[in-house]
Structure 1
Amino acid sequence: GGPPTPERSRPLGRRPLLPPFATATAAAALVVASLFAVQADRTRAERDTARDRAREIAHVLAAPDARAAHGEDDGGRGIGVVASASEGRAVVTLSGYREPSGDRVHQLWVMRPGAEARSLGLFEGDTPLVATGLDRSATSLAVTVEPGGGSHRPTSRPVLQLTLESVGFGE
């Protein structure tokens, strides 16, 4: 035989590049997958909310006693309502109003004689608001501009008010 073959060894201190690269890639993939999962959940929740709102609106519109009313102020800004007294619900829209400035919101109130105004919710841009829990004693709907998140009681005079007699309320 001949002389023994010397063993090849790697120089100390050098490691292969692939394992750290693979680890970093896997970590990045997990982060991206997590972000996609969060976005998918958010999108699913938004879709479910929109679907539920559409069902509520359709339910009010399909009620046998559903009636519509509309009111405008001197500037042509308006409020529209389709209400069902038997269902105790109304679909309310605003038109011509910009989003309030700063951290302010449009809030909808139901008015009754001899009772404090009760909040029916906050408008989100031009999305219709489905007001529930109305009873026949409700005489009008009022819209105020309130601090972000809304108020327990109106803190300003109504920017718009609509009587409900023509849609079966106010008895």
Structure 2
Amino acid sequence: MSENTSGGFIRRMFANDIATDLAEGRVLELAEIYALDAVSDDERAMIDAYIKDAPEGPEFLQRVHEARETLAVSFAPEEAPPAGLFDNIMERISNDAASQPPAVAASPDVAGPAVDDLAAARAKREERTRAGGARRWIVGAAAAAVIALGGIGVGAYVSTQNDPVNQVLQAQDVQKKSAPVPGGGTATISASSAKDSFVVLMDGVAPAPEGKVYQLWTLPKDGSAPVPQGTMDAETLSKPAVVKGLSSASSVAITVEPAGGSSAPTTDPVLVVGLSA
């Protein structure tokens, strides 16, 4: 199952604009820069409109509250940053962008409308890239400022919120089911419709026989073939694993398979737990 808790999740990067971040589900990652007013009025309006009906809305507002509370208790009046700090940062970013070498002019021998259009497109693309780079830099700086001001507590809070396991376990709509595993121990399934994911945690379960592993499967609602979701050997058996696609699955099943896992179940399930989404 280790691939579900590590290789199955890719660190999400910010896009060049807020609209794309929202469309790709990164609203929670925008909470700290929202709290620090590092967004424009238009961007703030887009975020406000998005969280109004989004399931992540309450969690987003909680993160904003935590960030602002951290700033409030961390800055004493005499320790307030210089009033022009943010403007100075933006000026340096603009100067760095302006110092980029200009595009090489087209040779007169090949000048023409097509070349002009190509040069204009290239210039526009480079401008977007520089703007996106600046925005990502500001996002990173804003988040770092919140973490630095709050010390370990806020740092741990942000880290916890970005962890896939904790995102499911701390979701407001999380539902848990536990079932006994033959041979001893229990399997607990924690499911969140808002995150479209569930977490599987085995407790007190003995490892599979030598040369075998437990393998996790989701059983699709449409009755199609079970979908493999990773294996659990002796080392990973006690670690939580996250599985995406809750909305399309009716149940989760566990079988005993040869080491390395199988593309389709080769034994009857030792456990089947129904999912509700």
The answer as to 2:197 corresponding to 1:86 is: no
1:68-107 equivalent positions in 2, closer than 5 A: 68-73=176-181, 76-107=184-215
Distance of 2:183 and 2:210 partners within structure 1 = 22
2:224 to 109, 115, 123: 115
Q: Which residue of 2 aligns with 1:141?
A: 252
- What corresponds to 1:127 in structure 2? 239
Structure 1 counterpart SS, 2:214: strand
Q: AA paired with 1:97?
A: V
Structure 2 match to 1:33? none
Partners of 2:216 and 2:255 lie apart in 1 by: 7
Aligned length: 114
State whether residues 185 and 206 of structure 2, in contact with CA within 8 Å, keep that contact through their aligned partners in structure 1.
Answer: no
* TM-superposed deviation, 1:66: 1.3
CA distance in 2, matches of 1:144, 1:135: 19
* Residue 57 of structure 1 pairs with residue 168 of structure 2: no
Write 1 or 2 for the structure with the bigger share of strand.
Answer: 1
Gaps of 5+ in 2: 1-5, 12-159
Q: Which runs of 5+ in 1 are unaligned?
A: 1-48
Distance 1:84 1:126 in 2: 21
Contact 1:60–1:83 (CA under 8 A) maintained in structure 2: yes
Structure-2-length-normalised TM-score = 0.38
What is the rounded CA distance, in whole Å, between the counterparts of 1:157 and 1:74 in structure 2? 13
Q: What is the alpha-carbon root mean square deviation over aligned residues?
A: 2.0
Report which stretch shifted further, 55-64 or 102-111: 55-64
Kindly state the Cα deviation for residue 100 of structure 1 after the two structures are TM-superposed. Answer: 1.1
The question of whether the paired residues in 2 share the 8 Å contact of 1:60 and 1:84 is answered with yes
Moved over 6 A (4+): none
- Among the aligned pairs, what percent are the same residue? 32
Higher helix share: 2
TM-score under structure 1 length normalisation: 0.60
**How many Å separate the matches in 2 of 1:135 and 1:91?**
10
